[in-house]
Amino acid sequence: MRAAVYNMQGEQVDEIELAPSIFDIEPNIPVMHQALVRQLANKRLGTHSTKTRAEVARSGRKVWRQKGTGRARQGSRRAPHWVGGGIVFGPKPRDYSQAMPKKMRRLAIRSALAAKAQANRIVVVDRLELEKPRTRDMAEVLDRLGLAGHSVVVLTGVDGDENVKLSVRNLPDVRTLHWRYLNVRDLLGHDYVLVPLEALRQIEALWG
């Protein structure tokens, strides 16, 4: 599979061959789904907690005597049917994390990259640098490259990335991501992936 390389003015300057071990494979949708569910589950803190009748701060004395009042028997204000009583089967702190074999995780990343490339949603630029942080300049670059929807801008990890990161920060539909931290959620959750040529070669070396 071949891909066009653009400059920051939106002009095509070259054409490259994408690594077939990543971009020419058939995307494995079930594995991508499992990886996405795992990533979202691992993000959960699991700190939710409710109090049982043994933990609520209420009196433990009998509400009224057992017989002779004409009312139903009541043993404690801590019972679940009383306002302020304990919660039955409520959530307790737990670990939501899921395990997934390394080969499946790598396949999920490659499948997500292949799906984006085959849909022409990966835009390659020869370089991505700004002289100073300015949101308007970054918005113009994205507009010239035709990135109208939600986009993720991949960073190469060099010093010039800081201006790009600061310029993207105020764009609501765009986020930056270091090439080493590509993940299924960000790839599938954005319409376009803008990647500099240097970062693309690093991605191919890591995931190929």
**pLDDT tens, the chain, 208 aa long:** 899 999 999 899 999 999 999 999 999 999 999 999 999 999 999 999 999 999 999 988 999 999 999 999 999 999 999 999 999 999 999 999 999 999 999 999 999 999 999 999 999 999 898 999 999 999 999 999 998 889 999 998 876 689 999 999 999 999 999 999 999 999 999 999 999 999 999 999 999 8
Number of structural domains in the chain: 2
Residues 148, 194, single domain; the answer is: yes
The Cα–Cα gap between 1 and 37 comes to 29
Q: pTM here?
A: 0.84
Range of 144's domain? 2-44+98-207
Residues 22, 123, single domain; the answer is: yes
In this structure, what token pair is assigned to residue 39?
Answer: 């990533």
Q: Which residues of 28-52 are buried (b: 16+ CB within 10 A; e: fewer)?
A: beebbebbbebbeeeeeeeeeeeee
Q: Which residues of 129-160 are buried (b: 16+ CB within 10 A; e: fewer)?
A: ebeebeeebbbebbeebebeeebbbbbbeeee
Residue 125, CA distances (Å) to 11, 99, 128 in order:
10, 36, 7
Residues 129, 202, single domain; the answer is: yes
The Cα–Cα gap between 207 and 194 comes to 17
Residues 37, 61, single domain; the answer is: no
Region class of 45: left (phi > 0), else alpha (psi between -120 and 50), else beta: alpha
